[in-house]
Amino acid sequence: MIQFPHCKINLGLSIIEKRVDGYHELETVFYPVQLQDMVEVCIAENSHDEVQFTHSGIPVPGDTKNNLCIKAYQLLKDKFPQIPATQIHLHKHIPMGAGLGGGSSDATAVLKIMNQLFNLQLAQKELISLAAQLGSDCPFFVHETPCLAKGRGEILEPIQCDLSKYTIVLVHPGIHVSTAWAFGQLHPHSKSTSIATIVQQDIHTWKNELINDFEAPIFEAYPLIASLKEYLYQESAIYASMSGSGSSLFGIFPKGKTIAAPSFASSIRIDTI
């Protein structure tokens, strides 16, 4: 069984306070974008291993035992010991460590596929609870529609936000930004206007009001990322921002718009959705 898990962008990202559990209270809107990976899950015939994991496309670094897809499998295997030996293949196309949630989307796809393939009869609420054990943004990929996210990102509420009449351009500069470092640069504080309110306004107001708190410290540390946001506006973006804690950016343009890589960063990756 195959699924094509998509990525997400953050429309605004406010870090409101640091919690006693060490996490941060935040507000953002997760918006689904159809840049996709491919995940296939099937029964592994004549296998002595509980799970076999292979991957193609963009190289996946690190020990495969720590891959979120394997953790998703193990989460369900612990709950349903009758699950047979399983083969998982991931074809990676969404940039990694880019603030686009690709790894979380892949892991959530494994949960959803296994639920169908092995007839586990898990309701959406149960899938969301399991996904939350894998990562703060994993529950969003069970919903798959625009959501206002609070808490650590796991408290979700569907929100009306439709960007289908626009073109979304994703820009990945190939820079890895440490999420832990990025959080350490912030000074959490409450905001006068909520992101939920701002995204309901005319999109042309977003440029001056819809802010990602991570941009200020990351732009200072990585001037190229700041320059790429400026470039998106030079190319007539209605709104441009970094997604999550970076390093990917996105621009929202009139429908049909395409852009080329800028001369100062010709090797960057650009995806037009």
**Residue 235 maps to which CATH number?**
3.30.70.890
The Cα 22–Cα 67 span in angstroms is 24
Tokens of 80: 């349903």
Query: Is residue 228 a contact partner of residue 269, using CB atoms and an 8 Å limit?
Result: no
Residue 63 catalytic? no
Q: Are residues 107 and 42 in the same domain?
A: yes
Contact 247, 173 (CB under 8 A): yes
Give the number of other Cβ atoms within 10 Å of residue 224's Cβ.
14
pLDDT tens digit string along 38-75? Answer: 999 999 987 778 999 999 999 998 888 889 999 999 99
Indicate whether 141 and 6 sit together in one domain: yes
Q: Give yes or no: residues 63 and 121 share one domain.
A: yes
Residue 18 has a pLDDT of 83
Do 128 and 22 sit in the same domain of this protein? yes
CB 161 within 8 A of CB 199: yes
Q: Pick the last residue of a domain from 158, 178, 200.
A: 158
SS3 content of the chain, % helix, strand, coil (to 5): 30, 30, 40
Q: Answer yes or no: do 170 and 258 share one domain.
A: yes
Strand ranges (DSSP E) for the chain?
2-3, 6-18, 24-36, 38-43, 51-57, 86-92, 147-150, 155-158, 166-172, 239-242, 249-254, 269-272
One domain, residues 117 and 133: yes
User: Are 36 and 104 in a shared domain?
Assistant: yes
Q: What is the DSSP letter of 19?
A: -
Same domain, 48 and 178: no
Report pLDDT for 154. Answer: 86
Encoded amino acid at 100, one letter = L
Give the per-residue pLDDT at 103. Answer: 95
Range of the domain at 250: 166-272
Inter-residue contact 99 to 66 (CB < 8 Å) = no
Residues 170 and 130 occupy one common structural domain: no
Residue tagged active-site, from 106, 137, 213, 271: 137
For the chain, what is the domain count? 2
Do 83 and 187 share a structural domain?
no
Residues 8, 92, 112, 150: which is the catalytic one?
Answer: 8
Q: Please say if 71 is a catalytic residue.
A: no
Residues 104, 105, 107, 112, CA torsion sign: positive
pLDDT means per 10 residues in the chain (273 residues)?
Answer: 98 91 88 98 86 94 88 96 95 94 97 98 96 94 94 92 97 92 90 95 97 96 97 98 96 97 95 96
Residues 146 and 182 in one domain: no
Q: In sequence order, what DSSP letters do the residues of 50-86 get, joined into one string?
A: SEEEEEEES---S-GGG-HHHHHHHHHHHH-TT---E
Query: How many angstroms separate the CA atoms of 148 and 119, rounded?
Result: 31
Task: Output DSSP code: residue 212.
Answer: B
- Same domain (yes/no): 142, 42: yes
Is the separation of the CB atoms in 93 and 273 below 8 Å? no
**Residue at a domain's end among 158, 178, 201:** 158
CATH for 151:
3.30.230.10
Domain boundary pick from 158, 179, 212? 158
Contacts 24+ apart (CB under 8 A), 186-191: 186/15, 186/24, 186/213, 186/214, 186/217, 188/15, 188/16, 188/17, 188/18, 188/24, 188/25, 189/16, 189/17, 190/16, 190/17, 191/14, 191/16, 191/27
